[in-house]
Structure 1
Amino acid sequence: MNKVAQYYRELVASLSERLRNGERDIDALVEQARERVIKQGS
């Protein structure tokens, strides 16, 4: 699996787990995911 696909799978798994654990602030989840992607790209 290439690096981008692996990172995407990990990100989706992380967001899914947080939703299962009751987090419902979708805007905050998306913003944190965006920050993580930007940090990872640096």
Structure 2
Amino acid sequence: MIGATRVVATNEVMMIAGMIDTIVAMIIIGMIVIVIVIVIVETTES
């Protein structure tokens, strides 16, 4: 039983870590997209 609960716990931790990784990746991608849009707007304006 201890082994089974340990496996479940590690699975939950891995899921949470994966969610955090995807959130961080989405934030980084969003920031990059915003920077690219700003650069495009600046170059087209000038």
Structure with higher helix content: 2
TM-score (norm 2): 0.45
TM-score (norm 1): 0.50
- If asked which structure has higher relative contact order (CA below 8 Å, sep 6+), I would say 1
